Amino acid sequence: MPSPTLPRVRVIGGSSRGRRLRAPAGTATRPTSDRVREAVFDMLDTLVDLDGVAVVDLFSGSGAMGIEALSRGAGSVVFVERAPGALAAIRANLVSTGLDDERARPTRAEALAYLARPHRFDVALVDPPYAFDQWEELLGRLDADLAVLESDRELQVPVGWEILRHKQYGDTLVTVVRHADAPRRGQKGTP
């Protein structure tokens, strides 16, 4: 049985703008709403040129955040998700949005285990379940210039990360952080 279409969740901008997205079966996935995704990508647009950058979408769920990045020109997106049903939904969403090409890499893995191996990204999109409490460990393993963190509470970021933006949208708190030592490749206003 195909996954149900998410209510009012669609690609907000870029080449696949307006396309509807599907949810994994069940209630475990909490897709980022259109309003929050639009706000996140508006914030990112002031900080980084997404054209050609390497993105990781951790705790991908339906893949909405990573698909939005691809639609807006990201060079590659790794979708990290441990649930097989969610990976199936991500693959279906990539096909339905026309973004199922070599730039999209759905990967079945638990996020912290995936980050235990060396991976380098320009931007990380991180939207774990609200009960997630391993932020320090995750940020300690994450090798990215910028990270967008979605949570239900204020986060304490470890040394080496600085908070650039912090905004509440209903139950969701979006925190944008920059790694202090990372090269500023692709970031606006830097070489």
116 token code pair: 């235990």
Q: Which helix (H) or strand (E) holds 40?
A: helix 34-47
Answer for the pair 3, 92: CB distance below 8 angstroms, yes or no: yes
Beta strand 144-151 pairing with 121-126: parallel
How long, in residues, is the chain? 191
Beta strand 172-179 pairing with 144-151: antiparallel
Instruction: Identify the residue whose tokens are 């997205």.
Output: 21
- Distance separating alpha carbons of residues 172 and 71, to the nearest angstrom: 23
Non-local (6+) Cβ contacts of 126 within 8 A are: 58, 59, 111, 138, 142, 147, 148, 149, 150
In order along its 191 residues, the chain shows pLDDT tens digits of 444 444 568 888 888 887 988 877 655 556 677 788 899 999 999 999 999 999 999 999 999 999 999 999 999 999 999 999 999 999 999 999 999 999 999 999 999 999 999 999 999 999 999 889 999 999 999 999 999 999 999 999 999 999 999 999 988 899 999 998 765 544 554 44
pLDDT of residue 2: 45
pLDDT of residue 9: 80
Of the candidates 161, 151, 159, 154, the one whose C-alpha atom is nearest the C-alpha of residue 182 is 161
Q: Give the relative orientation of helices 84-96 and 64-71 as an angle to the nearest 10 degrees.
A: 30
pLDDT of residue 5: 46
- Distance separating alpha carbons of residues 10 and 70, to the nearest angstrom: 13
Task: Find the radius of gyration of the CA atoms of the chain.
Answer: 15
pLDDT of residue 183: 58
pLDDT of residue 150: 95
| pTM of the predicted protein model | 0.88
Residue range 8-23+32-179 in CATH 3.40.50.150:
yes
- Distance separating alpha carbons of residues 55 and 147, to the nearest angstrom: 10
pLDDT of residue 25: 67
pLDDT of residue 191: 41
pLDDT of residue 28: 55
Non-local (6+) Cβ contacts of 70 within 8 A are: 14, 16, 55, 77, 97, 99, 103, 104
